[in-house]
Amino acid sequence: MRVYLIAGELSGDILGAGLMQALKHRHADIEFRGIGGPRMRAQGLDSLYPLETLSVMGFVEVLKHLPRLIKVRRHLKRDALAWQPDIMVGIDSPDFNIGLERQLREQGIRTAHYVSPSVWAWRQGRVKTIAKAVDGMLTFLPFEADFYAEHRVPVAYVGHPLADELPLVNDRALARNELGLALGVPTLAVLPGSRSNEIRFQGEMFLRAASALRQHLGALQVAIPAASPERRRELEALLVEFPDLAANTVIVEGRSREVMTAADAVLLTSGTATLEAMLCHRPMVVAYCMAPATYWLAQRLVKTRWIALPNLIAQETLVPELVQEAVTPESLFETLMPWFEDEQARLALEQRFAALHAELQRGASERAATAISTLVEHGTLNSEIGSV
């Protein structure tokens, strides 16, 4: 069996390595070729380019590197056609991979895409292009699979690898001990974002809300995971304006799961971190501010009722969402307060999150391997794949 794999980012390298390992358990005689990083190479991938070849972010940067990216895609197409894999699997990087998938599928090679782009949220017309490019879409989340099924794109809901990584039972006391936090003091995790502009737009408002919450409760400790040394310095500079809060705040680099597990509630920016908070079973308030022009455009392009992944997964409002003008220190404080004052509501949501976690904890790599094997052996995804 021959599998052509294209990953363009670190997250794709992790997913690809898990998929390769699971495929090797099913097929003793298997070969892998394409693009991947150290994890995928360790599993036996013959990588034609470094992983970072496709890691180009931003519209201007993409335009700058477009001639090189087109050249790489043409080479990969020629190489795949010469090698004749049983299937080509694009792992994320949709702007690059879906075009290559379509080209190879037109030449008779089966194709699959692992990790759905956010086509359900914006630029929904892309689903027509995806339908022409892939024999199967492998999704992390159930509502994504529903979207593709509605548009008659063969799909397998495989579960989320992050749900497999995080335990169904976590230990708040242990997390607090490891972070040097007191066990009996109300604790708030604050995640204003991993980008400098997110901290610029939201950092001060988040800290003002935390400061007001501390005054209201009489005691509060705050834990903040910084995405990088640069973000840590920016957060420390902001905390100078809040000396009382700073004295009861711990900033650590990384360790976001540990920080959220230690907390009673989480105040965070919309994004993948909302899923991580849900998988740590912690109540949250989700906020997002952006540049006015970006927000104006987003209002016209985004076609989803919710922005927080827990709400999207549940298809109901489980956690509060505050966007743009609604994000103020006062509104954040008022929305956070119930998670600290209503223990019954907090425990009920933690239990609901644990149940959702169990639903997502499906053995994603194994299920993805099952879907790929089914495509190779039968040419299509059968109806049982999504429920296996």
Q: Calculate the average pLDDT of the chain.
A: 89
d(CA 267, CA 214): 14
The token pair at 106 is 């037109």
Rounded mean pLDDT of 24-28?
Answer: 93
Rounded mean pLDDT of 239-251?
Answer: 92
Residue 236 has pLDDT above 80, yes or no: yes
The DSSP secondary structure of 80-132, one letter per residue, reads HHHH--SEEEEES-HHHHHHHHHHHHHTT-EEEEES--STTTB-TTHHHHHHH
The CATH topology of domain 172-360 is: Rossmann fold (3.40.50)
What does the pLDDT look like over 312-340, one tens digit per residue? 899 899 999 998 778 899 999 999 999 99
**pLDDT band for position 155 (50/70/90)?**
very high
Range of lowest pLDDT (5-14, 123-132, 303-312):
303-312
So what's the pLDDT on residue 152?
A: 93
**pLDDT band for position 121 (50/70/90)?**
low
So what's the pLDDT on residue 57?
A: 43
**Is it true that 2-159+362-382 and 172-360 share their CATH fold?**
yes
d(CA 229, CA 3): 39
**pLDDT band for position 186 (50/70/90)?**
very high
d(CA 86, CA 375): 9
What does the pLDDT look like over 36-50, one tens digit per residue? 999 999 999 999 998
Task: Report whether 43 contacts 24 (CB < 8 A).
Answer: yes
Of residues 270 and 135, more confidently modeled: 135
Q: Which amino acid is residue 133, in one-letter code? A: A
Residue 119 has pLDDT above 80, yes or no: no
Q: What residue has token string 């040097």?
A: 180
What is the CATH number that goes with domain 2-159+362-382?
3.40.50.2000
Task: Report whether 352 contacts 318 (CB < 8 A).
Answer: yes
**Closest to 70 in 3D by CA, of 89, 47, 54:** 54
pLDDT winner (highest mean) among 115-124, 190-199, 296-305:
190-199
So what's the pLDDT on residue 297?
A: 58
So what's the pLDDT on residue 195?
A: 74
Range of lowest pLDDT (37-51, 58-72, 136-150, 329-343):
58-72
Regarding pTM above 0.75, the answer is yes
d(CA 254, CA 348): 28
Measured in degrees and rounded to the nearest 5, phi and psi for residue 203 equal -55, -50
**pLDDT band for position 383 (50/70/90)?**
very low
Contacts 24+ apart (CB under 8 A), 238-243: 238/199, 238/203, 238/204, 238/207, 239/207, 241/204, 241/207, 242/207, 242/208, 242/210, 242/211
The domain ranges of the chain are 2-159+362-382, 172-360
d(CA 23, CA 16): 10
So what's the pLDDT on residue 198?
A: 77
Q: Label residues 5-19 b or e (16+ Cβ within 10 Å = b).
A: bbbbbebbbbbbbbb
> Helices 329-341 and 196-217, interaxial angle, to 10°?
50
Rounded mean pLDDT of 5-28?
Answer: 92
So what's the pLDDT on residue 302?
A: 62
Coil, strand or helix: which one is 6? strand
